[in-house]
Amino acid sequence: MCRLYTREMTDSTAPTVQSPRITMFGAQWCGDCRRSKKLLDVLNVDYDYVDLETVEDGADRAKAISGLSKIPVIAFPDDTHAVEPTDSALHAKLTALGVIS
């Protein structure tokens, strides 16, 4: 299940840098974002999606996590993150976390 965060979300309800959930920061125009989001959806992963086109400080949050201005940024509950991961790298990380088998 994907929870979509848009501009209607306040700072108190949108995910922060440290979250107990998987959080993906991305944008619809980004091919790598669409690919990673599709994989998470196909694998039925429960995650939060922060749309950088509608969440005012979304890009700042993504950059605070990765130190880069590249997307997607996917933050994991073990305090690690991935930037522009391949499908195989994302699948391996989800398996290592026990999110999928």
**Nearest Cα residue to 30 out of 69, 75, 64:** 69
Q: Which CATH architecture has domain 2-97?
A: 3-Layer(aba) Sandwich (3.40)
For position 20, what pLDDT does the model report?
83
pTM of the model as a whole: 0.84
- Where does the pLDDT of residue 101 fall: very low under 50, low under 70, confident under 90, or very high at 90 and above? confident
User: Residue 11, SS3?
Assistant: coil
What does the pLDDT average to over 15-35? 86
pLDDT beyond 70 at 24: yes
Q: What is the pLDDT of residues 44-97, one digit of tens each?
A: 999 999 999 999 999 999 999 999 999 999 999 999 999 999 999 999 999 999
Provide the residue ranges of all domains of the chain, joining segments of one domain with +: 2-97
Using CA atoms, how far apart are residues 5 and 80, in angstroms rounded to an integer? 21
Q: Under a CB-based contact definition with an 8 Å cutoff, are residues 73 and 82 in contact?
A: yes
